[in-house]
Structure 1
Amino acid sequence: MSALRKARLVAAHEGRTAVSLGLWAARRRDGVGGSAEGFGYARAQASMLYSLVFVAVVETAGLAVLLSGFPVAHLITLVIDLYGVLFVLGLHAAAVTRPHTVGPAGLRVRAAARIDLRVAPELIASVRRDVRFPAAKAPDDVLELPIAGQTSVTVELTEPVGYRTLLGAPRQARTIRCHADDPTALVTAVRALLPAPEPA
């Protein structure tokens, strides 16, 4: 893939993150409403990201004082620092405003503005609550989307489903491991999509 193509994909990600800040300010969530129910996953990372924002703000103020006698350097570092603050807030906003969703069309698994994978109900073989703390690289056919180092829901598919990474690389997933603030509620909602077992 060319460098220009990668740059466009990164810019598109930045754009989705910026839009998420607007949705967050307006207290709206993307893809939720009507028959689609949202299931958040951002709670576990909130304290860490807010801590990063606090550190970035303190750094911005400190550098403003240290570089007050150097206007050009002050302006450059101010722009970079403010971008850093907005970027971290955008990461959290994207996670809050782009939850997993479940509806008649199936399961939609998301990781902020980075991954958006739709799974039709007929492709879901099983779903269960399954707390894991991924450490090693997952197998090629497993999509892991940990939040704060953990996943809490595992979805097994009847066949692989395609998706693309942030930089556009094609991947196939037959098992999806993600996190939800309320994994039991997400598992219950997904199981409601599955056909009832036929009586013996």
Structure 2
Amino acid sequence: MSPATQTPQTDPSRTRALLARGMGIEKIIYAAIGRAIARRPWKARDAKGFHYHAQSFAALIIFIVLSAVEVVVIDLIVHQWLWLRIPLLIFGVWGLVWMAGLLCAHLMRPHTVGTEGIRVRNGLDLDAHVTWDDVYSVGPKNRNHEPKTPSVIDDHEGRSLVMSITDQTNVEVVLERPTTITLPGLPPKGGEQVVDRIYLWTDEPKGFLDAVREHIG
């Protein structure tokens, strides 16, 4: 198949990009466990961190417990077949560690507000950064979004980055001008995106807004 006839699904460059992102997420998962043990969240020294995990914390704990139970139950079922038991045990332990790392990533990768501006994050590899020169205003705004709303939406208010939790956001960041941010993944959903505003959820909206006022008044 010639390059001209390759579809996006078979394009080697897209495959390499997907593999690179997968490896990057794996690194974040394991680094998050280390940071949780050391109590060192991903943030600049002068920045304040704001969490967003309260609504999903219970679900993550349940998944971790179920993963642990699954490892034990499957191991009991297949313990007499060593050729099957070992790979299933390795896969099960990897899944359990991965879920624990995902929980740690939610805790260790908060949104941040500091001299460098605002960083909007999720539990994996989203890290959208805007400087104070980019920011026009920040205020409270509760919005309900449709299930499976994409990260970037176009509506009557312009083009927006949406970082929702359970399809809700409670802070609006209006930008001075259309601003380029970089999202994880491949275009059209990932890569460089130009947005006019950002909607995000934080468990501490008042503290978030107070921290913003220290920098933009």
So what's the TM-score if we normalise by structure 2?
0.82
The total of aligned residue pairs comes to 194
Distance 2:124 2:19 in 1: 16
Distance 2:104 2:69 in 1: 21
Q: Secondary structure at the match of 1:109?
A: strand
Q: Secondary structure at the match of 1:122?
A: helix
Residue 144 (structure 2) pairs with residue 119 (structure 1): no
Which of residues 12, 20, 25 in structure 1 aligns to 2:37? 25
Evaluate the alpha carbon distance shift between residue 190 and residue 53 of structure 1 in structure 2; reply closer, same or farther with a 3 A threshold. Answer: same
Whether the 8 Å CA contact 1:156–1:174 is kept in 2: the answer is: yes
Residue 177 (structure 2) pairs with residue 159 (structure 1): yes
Greater displacement, 107-116 / 131-140: 131-140
RMSD: 1.8
Amino acid at match of 1:174: D
After TM superposition, list the pairs within 5 Å mapping 1:57-68 onto structure 2: 57-68=68-79
Q: Secondary structure at the match of 2:215?
A: coil
How big is each residue's C-alpha offset from its partner over 1:20-77, in whole Å with a ceiling of 9 and x where there is no partner?
11001111111142x2111122222111100000111111111011111111211121
Residue 129 (structure 2) pairs with residue 107 (structure 1): no
Amino acid at match of 1:27: R
Evaluate the alpha carbon distance shift between residue 121 and residue 84 of structure 1 in structure 2; reply closer, same or farther with a 3 A threshold. Answer: same
Distance 1:118 1:166 in 2: 12
Evaluate the alpha carbon distance shift between residue 8 and residue 142 of structure 1 in structure 2; reply closer, same or farther with a 3 A threshold. Answer: same
After TM superposition, list the pairs within 5 Å mapping 1:28-39 onto structure 2: 28-33=40-45, 35-39=46-50
Identity of paired residues, percent? 24
Amino acid at match of 1:16: I
The aligned residue for residue 25 of structure 2 is 13
After TM superposition, list the pairs within 5 Å mapping 1:157-196 onto structure 2: 157-168=175-186, 169-170=190-191, 171-194=193-216, 196=217
The aligned residue for residue 131 of structure 1 is 142
Evaluate the alpha carbon distance shift between residue 56 and residue 157 of structure 1 in structure 2; reply closer, same or farther with a 3 A threshold. Answer: same
The aligned residue for residue 74 of structure 1 is 85
Distance 1:89 1:149 in 2: 23
Q: Secondary structure at the match of 1:164?
A: strand
Whether the 8 Å CA contact 1:40–1:99 is kept in 2: the answer is: yes
So what's the TM-score if we normalise by structure 1?
0.88
Name structure 2 gaps, 5 residues minimum. 1-12
Distance 2:82 2:182 in 1: 43
Distance 2:127 2:67 in 1: 29
Distance 2:160 2:101 in 1: 27
Name structure 1 gaps, 5 residues minimum. none
The aligned residue for residue 6 of structure 2 is none
The aligned residue for residue 146 of structure 1 is 164
Evaluate the alpha carbon distance shift between residue 149 and residue 74 of structure 1 in structure 2; reply closer, same or farther with a 3 A threshold. Answer: farther
Distance 2:70 2:81 in 1: 17
Cα displacement (A) at 1:91: 1.4
How big is each residue's C-alpha offset from its partner over 1:126-157, in whole Å with a ceiling of 9 and x where there is no partner?
21222233215352421111224322211111
